[in-house]
Structure 1
């Protein structure tokens, strides 16, 4: 069937930063894969692009289409026009058939694929397309995509460093609303109990449909308990042994489950940064929930409860900021990687960005509307070790103005992430 652009639950199709990246990739690459969480907008992008190019659309979520692909992969992918295949991870055998086609006909833009799991990381998937396929990650909507603002913080902080300035009208309550909303189009379009129902169904669907079916696990309740534990530990070190002890599963099983949750884009692991500067730096990763709305819902938090002093807002806000930056790294001009930093003495920096030239931006996230010198303790510790490679130390906070706390340290409103 021909590509048809689906309607948006928000009422309008929001421009996505990834759209341009997909168009550029199709211009010189035979196979392009858009990889990302379910219901984050992959189908909308490929439908838009496919409709413009007169592409044939085939969704493997349809049982009849999936059975045809499984029965005869070679015939399924044989088509003279551009072919869009949605949810390709459901029939991974198609990748070898696609390889045969593009090796015979090496024109760019032959196949546009989507996947709701890290396709090449799944067990049993052949490594069929090296040098023939480009993968573009798509996350739930960034705040700038929702608001129609630039989403340019990563480029701005590396370009401007300590000269970065930003003023904001956003208040702490506004940030709380953004955290519980998250970025899935369906959640953005809903409020209150209807949004909570979407999140409940989404997590259940991921476990029952993707994780269990793709991996044939049998411990669904334990997987759900693990997901809730990860939401509660947002911003903390990911120690599988400790998690295994609390949840009552073998550590090998916990390690496997964590890998599965990352493959289906429910969590993202943030590796530790060290550059071998200190033997006291820990090497343990942290985990962030890909969507802050899901994390808040798993913890039973709404706007009213998150406004309380004893709420888990700090961890949720750190995860929210981390994933906004992770999204930006997929389209920023600066090619940088995302880490965290922590020593055995528990001195830490929430986010460390390092570009290909070794330049470093250190970022801490605070839920307070007031910034203090002590907020830069971890950043100052890291600055002593990287010296001139530090571009800037940034405390992102819920206040409204940029404040200087030394030659390279700045407190900056969180909204700079999407408004700069």
Structure 2
């Protein structure tokens, strides 16, 4: 079993918060983490219930209030709670009557806090922890240091160099636990196809009524082609014959299921020549490759696709590592009206900015730093360090607080 570095954050939350909600895509190991925690904390203290059990689901659906009130006087682990968001109101009532730290440990394969049926909030009573697909740090068994160094304005370094072959395999296999353990690329992609079929046939229909369920699979495939690009809802809708409002609603469903993310554009009141359109990213490159029919050989022949997948991989890795950092971080991309861009901008609560550009090449020139230099000029004093990740050998300075860093440093 792979280590999950979010486990510590869940334990800390259970020590002082009545409700802890572990949320993330299906099949990322939420249930495994919950059962591991139950064993470590004493299984006799816990009652485990999953709403994937149809009998339990129907009982809870018939009487949400009675279901929660009649639970045993133990800690409760409630799995796949997004299937019945009405339970959140009853959980809130139970917590208000008896505010015990760690009383409820919930998991959800959809962001239940965004569901329209959720009529009340657990604000101030609940802490949420994202559990996404495996980080490369977790797969390698390495403690993450990249973000901590970056936030300390240090240029990361690594002994892991020339990682192109490794990256190619990771992009195609992805970071879900199950396909990582399969014997071949073909078997990994078969898993993804079944995963997608389940999502479209069941999970999306569980969330809300949609008029064109058959189009959700097509939309998911389209998002894989748009990953790493600016979001154009009108264009997406046009390809499916849907108006802008409908396509916006369907995209929101994919985001609720943690399948895609929209990365907002960085903005500044002082600089007006900025593009405000968000970028689209898939939560896993293996999923993208399966949807698009991309394998290792095809990626070698299609460098443009390889570059976009690599950008998505790096973005996802940074987002996963941000969960383990002890300060809130916001993520953006930068693009101005001259089409100069930077792949990822990380901003802390103080407004300090840390910029990351991704290049698939092993050699670099000063031109590759154009985006970072432009952002450095626009952000002015808020800019702290700029990193260009590349498939090279050395961490090298390319100017004032600008560095080229080998890709392997991301998980070293």
State the TM-score bracket (shorter-chain normalisation). Answer: over 0.9
The answer to whether structure 1 residue 57 and structure 2 residue 48 are counterparts is: yes
Structure 1 partner of 2:64: 73
Structure 2 partner of 1:272: 265
Alignment of 1:225-264 (within 5 A): 225-264=218-257
Correspondent of 1:184 among 165, 168, 176? 176
Correspondent of 2:212 among 212, 219, 228? 219
Correspondent of 1:316 among 302, 306, 309? 309
- Rounded Cα–Cα distance in structure 1 between residues aligned with 2:250 and 2:374: 35
Secondary structure in 1 matching 2:152: helix
Greater mean alpha carbon deviation, residues 264-273 or residues 309-318: 309-318
Query: Any conservation in 2 of the 1:143–1:151 contact (CA below 8 Å)?
Result: no
The answer to whether structure 1 residue 299 and structure 2 residue 292 are counterparts is: yes
Superimposed CA distance per residue, residues 140-187 of structure 1 (whole angstroms, 9 cap, x where no aligned partner): 1100101101122111111143x4433423421111111112111111
Query: Any conservation in 1 of the 2:146–2:156 contact (CA below 8 Å)?
Result: no
1:42 Cα deviation after fit: 0.4
The answer to whether structure 1 residue 15 and structure 2 residue 3 are counterparts is: yes
Correspondent of 1:31 among 19, 28, 33? 19
- Rounded Cα–Cα distance in structure 1 between residues aligned with 2:399 and 2:261: 33
Structure 2 partner of 1:47: 35
Query: Any conservation in 2 of the 1:172–1:399 contact (CA below 8 Å)?
Result: no
Superimposed CA distance per residue, residues 100-136 of structure 1 (whole angstroms, 9 cap, x where no aligned partner): 2111111101000000101011111122311111111
Superimposed CA distance per residue, residues 193-233 of structure 1 (whole angstroms, 9 cap, x where no aligned partner): 21111111111211111112322224233222221221112
Structure 2 partner of 1:4: none
1:34 Cα deviation after fit: 0.4
Structure 1 partner of 2:161: 169
Superimposed CA distance per residue, residues 298-347 of structure 1 (whole angstroms, 9 cap, x where no aligned partner): 12111111112545101111001001011111111343211001112211
Query: Any conservation in 1 of the 2:173–2:189 contact (CA below 8 Å)?
Result: no
Greater mean alpha carbon deviation, residues 236-245 or residues 259-268: 236-245
Structure 2: where are the runs of 5+ without partners? none
Correspondent of 1:148 among 141, 153, 156? 141
Secondary structure in 1 matching 2:332: strand
Query: Any conservation in 1 of the 2:83–2:206 contact (CA below 8 Å)?
Result: no
Query: Any conservation in 2 of the 1:41–1:185 contact (CA below 8 Å)?
Result: yes
Correspondent of 2:384 among 374, 391, 408? 391
- Rounded Cα–Cα distance in structure 2 between residues aligned with 1:170 and 1:66: 50
Structure 1 partner of 2:401: 408
- Rounded Cα–Cα distance in structure 2 between residues aligned with 1:80 and 1:218: 42
Query: Any conservation in 2 of the 1:353–1:360 contact (CA below 8 Å)?
Result: yes
Greater mean alpha carbon deviation, residues 326-335 or residues 303-312: 303-312
Aligned-CA RMSD value? 1.4
Superimposed CA distance per residue, residues 363-411 of structure 1 (whole angstroms, 9 cap, x where no aligned partner): 1111111122111111111111122322211111122321221121111
Aligned length: 406
Query: Any conservation in 2 of the 1:74–1:94 contact (CA below 8 Å)?
Result: yes
Q: TM-score when scaled to structure 1?
A: 0.93
Structure 2 partner of 1:5: none
Structure 2 partner of 1:6: none
- Rounded Cα–Cα distance in structure 1 between residues aligned with 2:140 and 2:394: 20
**Distance change in 2, residues 1:310/1:365 (3 Å):** closer
Structure 2 partner of 1:288: 281
